[in-house]
Chain A
Amino acid sequence: MTISDISQRPRYLAGGNVYLPHIAVIEKVIEETPTVMTFHFNFKDKKLRDEFTFQSGQFGEYSVFGIGEATFCISSSPTRRDHFEVALQRVGKVTNAMHRLGVGAEIGFRGPFGNGFPLDELKGKNLVFVAGGIGLAPLRSLIWNVLDNRDKYQDISIIYGARSPRDLCFKYDLEAWGKDKTVRMTTTIDRAAEGWTGNVGVVPKVLEQAAPSPRNAVAIVCGPPVMIRYTFPVLEKLGFKPEQMLTTLEKRMKCGVGKCGRCNIGDVYICRDGPVFSFAQIKGFFSSEY
């Protein structure tokens, strides 16, 4: 692959400096699961608040000053602009520090970086969203984006799973999508649990049972690596071509803009060439280290 032209992407660089974060203020905190929190935030600078745009699937570099910076997709939709959202699982240094922050606390934000989902190519298609655990966060941005422009798309199915009922993120969204008659919503948990009357089974299995048609369809997949690895073969079995399967990849990142070196898979830098790729692209990657 040769280096992709990313000159058209919007850039909001504080002081023209790619490493300098914008200051943002946390406006609301939602406890999604025992280990996941969603933060609603907004930029302190009014001009930026008004002008900032992004695409579903793009990511930011979030700072807790004094602790460090980490990479997460923006989990809200660009169609809902009064604030921005990010959902974080407590797993590392920065996410632990973020979880200790409350309303009114200030964080740093650099971005949006990366390519985002190819919205134009999804128009007029049947969309199949397949997500596991915190993997719903980046897809959620796209799902609301699509639902807010409902007439531009055909059938919408969402298959979402988590380990247990209490590990389901965005329960308020699951409920809203469940009630939406234009959405085929399937929620599942890995193993049977007390009080749970819904589907039981891991996401790839439930996807196989639901058997969405590949005709004029695009499947958008995100979840833990193990889920993604088992989901692609199921989609292929259902007749989806690699070009009809999208996912968003995750690697350790520092700069977010293709310089610091670590997020590559062969000659592909996830931060500047991704994070959204089709399975056809991934299959052509130089390395199988995805």
Chain B
Amino acid sequence: MKYILLMSGTQSGVQGYHAWSQKDVEAHMAVLRAINKELADSGEFVATQGLTGPGEALTVRGEKNGLPITDGVFPESKEFLLGYWIVDVATLERACAIAGRISAAPGPGNVPTNMPIEVRRFANHG
């Protein structure tokens, strides 16, 4: 079963990351890379992707003539997708365990970020 693990944050939450020291960023990324490698080794890794920051986000709707209408204003409470992992695992529990590992990745001062990770199953194609 394929699951997508979504890491999201508000605009003010994202600004907090930019205050991290280089050392903290490196420690964080080293753990994420190790998780990616473990998933690749176990055959559970499908894909991972980071997104550009919320400052570049736009909402697009189609006008009657088909032209795009873009809007870059979001409520402060808006949760922006920051990045995701797609995993192919045997059970929901396993997907949640991987999400827990990502949530435990260190933040400033080597303290786990404890970021909430949303776990969603992919719909079956049919």
Q: Do A and B interact with each other, yes or no? A: no
Q: Which positions in B face A, CB cutoff 8 Å?
A: none
Q: Which positions in A face B, CB cutoff 8 Å?
A: none
